[in-house]
């Protein structure tokens, strides 16, 4: 199974809504867009399938009742800020490990404002960020505890 299909099967399993459809070539991330809490994915223009995990993280950390508010720029459309951004990154790392994919799948060289290697180093050393928010949301137990982060109890915030 290729990585994109593996990610989409994971989304099906956990309840992340997505649609495969053509998207304009321009956009924040090529081949992916959030619209009303649903991931729109254009496999023909998707440069980095790992970006889907990060964008899904934004959906996953949003309270269920508010997910439909997420559109394109999650900061503007739904008021997500630095805490949600860090939680989405931590969520995407947990998803990456769950899927047994390499760190570079998520933290590719073209993303994260040139900080991909630093992110890989931090998360690989279990000193990443954002997971306290996931714990606070009730999605996982605290890191360092038995069955704690990066193991998730809930993939979607209630």
pLDDT, one tens digit per residue, over 20-41 is 999 987 777 889 999 999 999 9
Separation of alpha carbons 46 and 54, rounded Å: 13
Res 27: pLDDT: 72
Instruction: Tell me the mean pLDDT in the region 119-126.
Output: 94
Q: Decide: helix, strand or coil at residue 111.
A: coil
- Which stretch of DSSP H or E encloses residue 72? none
Give residue-wise pLDDT tens across range 38-65: 999 999 999 999 999 999 999 999 999 9
Q: Quick one: pLDDT band at residue 84, thresholds 50, 70, 90?
A: very high
pLDDT band at residue 87 using 50, 70 and 90 as cut-offs? very high
Report the alpha-carbon distance of residue 80 to residue 35 in Å, rounded.
Answer: 15
Instruction: Quote the CA–CA distance of 132 and 96 in Å, as a whole number.
Output: 18
User: What backbone phi and psi angles, to 5 degrees, belong to 38?
Assistant: -115, 135
State the pLDDT at residue 155: 98
pLDDT tens, 124-146?
A: 998 899 999 999 999 999 999 99
């Amino acid at each position: 199974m290729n990585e994109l299909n593996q990610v989409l099967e994971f989304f099906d399993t956990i309840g992340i809504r997505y649609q495969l459809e053509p998207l304009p070539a321009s956009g924040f991330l090529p081949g992916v867009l959030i619209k009303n809490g649903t991931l729109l994915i254009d496999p023909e223009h998707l440069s980095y399938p790992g970006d889907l995990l990060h964008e899904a993280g934004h959906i996953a950390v949003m309270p269920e009742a508010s997910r439909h508010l997420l559109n394109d720029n999650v900061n503007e459309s739904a008021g997500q800020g630095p805490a949600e951004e860090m939680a989405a990154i931590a969520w995407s790392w947990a998803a990456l490990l769950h899927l047994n994919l390499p760190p570079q799948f998520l933290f590719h060289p073209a993303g994260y404002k040139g900080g991909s290697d630093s992110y890989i180093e931090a998360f690989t050393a279990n000193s990443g960020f954002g997971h306290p928010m996931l714990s606070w949301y009730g999605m996982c137990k605290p890191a360092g505890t038995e069955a704690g982060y990066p193991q998730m109890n809930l993939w979607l915030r209630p």
